[in-house]
Chain A
Amino acid sequence: MRRSRGAAGAAATALCLAAGLNLAGEDPGKATAPRMEFVPPPPGSYTLQSIQRISDAVLLDSAGRAVRLSALTQGKITLLTFFYTYCADPLGCPFAHTTLANLRDRVTADRALAGRVRFVSVSLDPTHDTPAAIASYGQEFTADPEFEWRFVTARRVPELLPVLDDFGQDVSVDLDQYGRATRTLHHMLKMFLIDAHGEVREIYTLAFLQPQVIFNDIKTLALEAGSGPAAVRGRPSVSVQSKP
Chain B
Amino acid sequence: MRIDNRSVLSFLVAAILTIVTAAAYADETCNSPYMTGLIKGQEDFVHVWTLGVLGMGDGSDKLVTVDANPASKSYGKVIDKISVGGRGEAHHMGFTDDRKYLWAGGLDDSKIHVFDVGTNPAHPTLVRTIDNLSAKTGYVGPHTFYALPGRMVIGNLSNAASKDGVTGLAVYNNKGDFVKKYDMPASEIKQLKGDGYGYDIAVNPAKNALLTSSFTGWNNYMRDLGELIKDPEAMKHFGNTLVMWNLKSMQPEQIFAVPGAPLEIRWALPDGQNWAITATALTSQLWLVKRDARGAWAAKDVAAIGDPAKIPLPVDISITADAKGLWVNTFMDGTTHYFDLTDPEHPKQTYAKHTGSQVNMVSQSWDGHRVYITSSLLSKWDKKGKDNEQFLRAFQWDGHELSPAFEVDFAKEQLGRPHHMKFTANAQRVAPAVGASTATASAR
A contact residues vs B (CB 8 Å cutoff) = 1-4, 6-11, 13-29, 32, 34-38, 40-41, 45-46, 49-52, 127, 130, 156-158, 161, 168, 170-173, 175, 179-181, 186, 188, 190, 192, 200, 203-208, 213, 244
Give the complex CA separation of A156 and B7 in angstroms.
6
A203 and B12 in contact (CB under 8 A), knowing A28-B38, A28-B39? no
Residues in B1-55 with C-beta less than 8 Å from chain A? 1-4, 7-8, 10-12, 14-16, 18-22, 25-26, 33-34, 36, 38-44
Contact (Cβ within 8 A) A24 B425: yes
With a cutoff of 8 Å between Cβ atoms, the chain A residues found around residue B19 in the complex are 17-20, 172
Q: A14-B11, A25-B40, A49-B179 are in contact. List 17 more A-B contacts (CB 8 A).
A: A7-B3, A11-B3, A17-B16, A17-B18, A17-B435, A20-B15, A20-B20, A21-B25, A22-B428, A41-B248, A45-B249, A46-B246, A46-B248, A51-B179, A161-B14, A170-B98, A206-B34
Instruction: Return chain A residues, CB-CB under 8 Å to B21.
Output: 20, 170, 172
Q: Please name all residues of chain A whose beta carbon is closer than 8 Å to the beta carbon of B22 when the two chains form the complex.
A: 19-21, 170, 172, 186
* Residue of B whose beta carbon sits closest to that of A13: B439
Closest to B179 in A: A49
Interface residue from B2, B8, B20 paired with A10 (Cβ < 8 Å): B8
Give the residues in chain A near B439, CB-CB below 8 Å.
10, 13-14, 16-17, 181
Contacts of B20 in A (CB 8 A): 20
A15 touching B41, Cβ below 8 Å: no
5 A-B pairs with CB atoms under 8 Å apart are A13-B442, A38-B207, A51-B151, A172-B21, A200-B150
- Closest CB-CB distance, B326 to chain A, in whole Å? 22
Nearest 5 A/B pairs, CB to CB: A25-B41, A20-B19, A179-B430, A24-B425, A17-B15
List chain A residues, Cβ under 8 A from B436.
Answer: 17
Max chain A Cβ within 10 angstroms of own Cβ: one of B19, B34, B98, B171: B19
Instruction: State in angstroms the CA–CA spacing of A171 and B100 once bound together.
Output: 12
Q: Mark B170-181, 1 if CB is under 8 A from A, else 0.
A: 010111010110
Cβ B248 vs Cβ A213 within 8 A: yes
B8 adjacent to A24 (CB under 8 Å): no
Decide if A190 touches B248 in the complex (CB within 8 Å). Answer: no
Given A20-B20, A51-B151, A52-B150, residue A36 in contact with residue B428 (CB < 8 A): no
